[in-house]
Structure 1
Amino acid sequence: MNGPVVVGIDIKSGSPRSKQRPLYSVSIISNDGVLFEREVATFDEIIALMNRYGATILATDNVYELARDSKGLREVISKLPSGSKLVQVTGSPNNFRPLSSIAKEMGLSAPSRRDPLESARLIAQLALRGVGFEVVAMYPETRILITRNRSVKQGGSGSDRWRRSIEASILSEANRIATELDLANLDYDLYVERASGGLRRAEFIVYASMSEVRKVVKESSEWAPLRIFLRESWRRKIKFPSGDVVKLPKSRPIIVGIDPGMSVGLAILDLKGNLLLLKTLRRASRSEIIEEILDHGYPVIIATDVNPPPKSVIKIANTFDSKLVVAKYDMKAEEKKRIVSEYEERTGIRVGSSHERDSLAAALKVYLKVKNLITKIRQRINELDLPLDPDEIARKVLKGMSISLAIEEALSEEVKKDRDLGLKHKYSEVRRELRRANRYIRSLMSKIAELKRDIERYEALLREKDEEIAELKKRIELLEDRRNMEIEVDRRISARDARIRELEKQLARERWKIDLLRSQINQLTSQDKPPEGIRLTVLPSLSKDRIEMLQSRVSNVGEVIVALDASGASSGILRKLKDLGIRAVLYRGSPPPKQFIESARNMNIVVGSVDEYKIVWNGITPVIPNEEAFRLLAKLNEDLLKEKMEVETDLLNII
């Protein structure tokens, strides 16, 4: 199996704080994926599953879903398989975070609140990735207890001898274990209860894990005369070491008195002589003593009335780098009682046990020695009117520094602190500016992102418009092609119509000619003698070229001209017609312009339509019969007479 195996659980129903037994949803995973899942399981079934799959981590989002208090958690942890640990993935109680936000940070989907199995799976995945804090309920130390096996009894006259034999065996076994621990270089403290035959009880506190101690010491059989068993040292409080930042409270210097032994007396005074703690700890380890001391301050002096001091007291003093004060001689009980009773009368406190009395006496004796020095320090600071902490100066002086040097060093530290404070202030200002800049940058980035989205949207619109424009251009090109085609068609139709009109005119002329020729033929065939009348000269048009052609054959020109197309006649040809002796111009179809008609009348040339007169043919020559000629002549005379009368009228009007 690849990597650790993690069991993730989430409560499904019930609660450790209610009468209903809690039930859990379980998900077991490893790097290979999900190994096992169950909707409902009891805690005992979860432990069995951990043993079956070799799980080393039990993960939850709240350890108090497993137990109602710290005592219950100790029982839970004690039931876990050896080498396994309990992990809370949502952080320590001082830094608790929602499961959904942690899942989002790790790139996992948040679980449904209604699905405990999904939550259990997510919890297991987070623990597998190293998320969460281990719950520690024990000190990193092991206790070895050597005592008489109560199940072994011996009566009769040999009972005393049997008891002394067991006490001697306990002493021998304690010596053997001490030797083994020394050879293994394991640090330990030893508490014993002495008896006439040796030791009634011995307890080692070894500052090592259970696994290391088991390599050196083996537990005895249940039926042996004496009992050797190992147990882990439980903490008074559940800890989340990965989530706690340990800070030694050096702000309050204290004086600690310790009375070592099976029952440890512990007394703590501040530098004003006030009692902060007076307590008896039974078979306490160094870890427990140090934890009690740190709850009240940081020791500058540790005192004991036992000379030479026990190894445990020396190591506690070394841990704090504190001054160890040992009485040159063991104080007598009367001296201890006197010191403590005076303090009781002055403060009103009452001492409980002899261990508390001895520890308080040791602390008070040291305090009384340094009291005048501490008072002198306070007076010197007040005289100089310096903003310094007397306790901090006293800490330095009690460690061997002179008062002047301690004050000078404290002033230097204050100056440095002020400078650091200024730097911190500047740093804070810079950080605030950076935060504002970051907020501004984030807002700009947001605007940029929004503008980019707008640009993308507008680019998409432009692409759509470009496509629409291209489509419209194609349509315009098609329409232009169609329009050009229609224009070309219209042009060709116009040209065709013009050609048709021209051909129709030409056809009409040709038909007239045909009719004229047919009439001539009919006349030739129907008449025996040629008709009499005025011969007509036929011209296609009254253009200048046609008139000039008449001038070239003046001998064949009659007095009357028939123009097949007189619409383009101009007044300039009338003089030439007059010179040729033309007296009348007949037209077929459209009449000549009005100006031509007026000018012709002024020159005594009759202009009329050929349809008004009868024309006959003399062979191929058109002839206007005499009677028609007379009518034409009469019209000419009528026009002349009318014109003469108009002139006379104008003259009369003028006169």
Structure 2
Amino acid sequence: MNDRTSALDSVVFGVDIQSGDIRGDSPSYALVVLDTRDTESDEVRIERDVVSFRKLRRLIERDEPAIVATDNMYELAADKDDLVRFLRWLPHETRLVQVTGSERPEPLSRVASRHGVPYGKEPMKEAEAAARLALANVGYEVAAFENTTTVKVSRGRSTGKGGWSQDRYTRRIHGSVKKQARKVEAALDEANLDFERDVTEKYGGYSQALFTVEARPQDIPVSTHRSGDTRVEIERERRDGIEFEPLVKRRDRVIVGIDPGTTTAVAVVGFDGRVLDVHSTRTADTAAVIEWIIERGRPSLVAADVQPMPETVEKFRRSFDAAGWAPPSDIPVDEKLHRTRDIDYENDHERDALAAALFAFDDHEDQFERISRKVPADVDREEVIARVLVREESVEAVLREMNDDGDDTSDEPDETAHEEPELTPEEREIRDLKSRVNRLESHVEDLSETIEEKDEIIDEYKDELSEARREERREARERREINRLERENGRLERKVESLESENEELTEKLDRLKSLWKLDHSNFADVNTNGILTSDSEWEVAERKSEANESGGNLVPVKIVEQFTNGALDETVEQYGIAAGDVVYLRDASGAGRTTAERLADFDPRVVLRAGNLSEVADEVLFEAEIPVAPADGVAIQEIDELAVARESDVAAAIADWEDRAEERQKEQQKEMVDQIISEHRAENRR
């Protein structure tokens, strides 16, 4: 068991409900304060009072007691959620302790009687009993949070809804968050704390940075605050539910395997072969490792994985006054891997420590079973095994010694005891104490030498650590710069791909425009006549070629629109463009409405050649816009791939024909208008 019998020098609050209920409006509490600070004797300063819940919280905030003890935690909280909020509110160094047990608490009277603490039914007596029990390390700490803390750096004010300087304002806030996040990261690095960082990058910097730190809030060199554009929030990570941790943990007899070196690894195994814990460290000294082991059990057997046992492992063995074990020869790596195959460990050092402890257990397993069969049910089996291992005595001798220690000794000496050849218990104890003193004196000398060596090593390590930290910070800066350059390189590569794609499209368009230009400045007779869309005979084609040669053969480009719709117009504009004075050929002129016709008229083409008939609405719109419209049958249109040309003379003839038809159409419209006026005049005269 733990030798510690009372809480550290501190203040303990004992609390019990006096009247009312926490679920009501105004509960009152009986409060007993036990103050063990600054006392030269064993006396404890006691204060008693009846306080409201609000005053109780103020006193807890002011005094920051080590323990707030109660017989029922739900006297301080209405439900589980309220209890979690109360635990979050408690000062960092204050623990809530339920002295009556964990999930199934016992009556306070029974617990107090078992530990010899005065008890009374009055609330003040119950509060005092709870405080004294907690002071004696009786009870369970109520815990709802892990030893992991979240540090959140975020914006301290909103970026707003906009404005002429909105971008600059937003960039400044995000830059401030990034700057504050770097300060927090530097503080955590300086404190040598393990943490993970998750940032949300925004315009100008960060909108949020989240640090998950393996430490309690009081161990983190950062506090919750809000300053200008940023704020820092600290919150402990919550557990899945409410858990209970005993104030004093039973320390059973254990087997300890140790792998010394630059990295020291320790494994703890129970007498039943269960692996209880494993740990490795490069920074902790011998005292810290011993403290870690003591927190997990009382070592009875210290094991190594090599032969002979290293001096460092031997020092640990002497520190615990435990038996030692080493294999006949160094344990091969494949056997270590096989023996530890079902156990999780972090590195090879932990594997070696585990292998040492487990092989030591395997070597003594039969002995443990033999001892267990001889030990009565009412005797501590592990204590007997430990004494047999350390003292190398028989089970019977150990049992006799334990029975003698448990018997009440009388004032009169036992005359028959002097006649026995065996030593009396007192003489055996003296012998053991002398032997232990000699071992401890030798151990003290060894430790003194070790301390001097460690001091020198520590100084060297400090220098190396400082240099390593500088190197790590430099590498971190380089990594951040590399990441930034990689992101920038990726952005530029994506931009290059986009520009190359755009350049290919423009090149294709330029090629098409060059082809049009060449056709516009070439002779129609040079064009291959296999693609003529008219039904002219070869004689007519030859005649047209002759006329073209005589007239100089001027050609004009023709912009083809597959169908008289907005979509087809968009496609032609995208590929070739339609400008004022262009010749437009509608391969299918049917189906257009007013909107499509008005859009074509807005381009102001020189002439529109159509295949098929226009709708009445489209024909009316183009006529009113004075856009010539002529059938495509009267114009020889030559198509080469996606390009087309027509003879200038044919186009001019089509326009002249339209003008004649337009003049007649206008005359007809005027005549109809005059007839309508006369009809209307006659109708009015009849009235």
Q: TM-score range by the shorter chain?
A: 0.3 to 0.5
Larger radius of gyration: 1
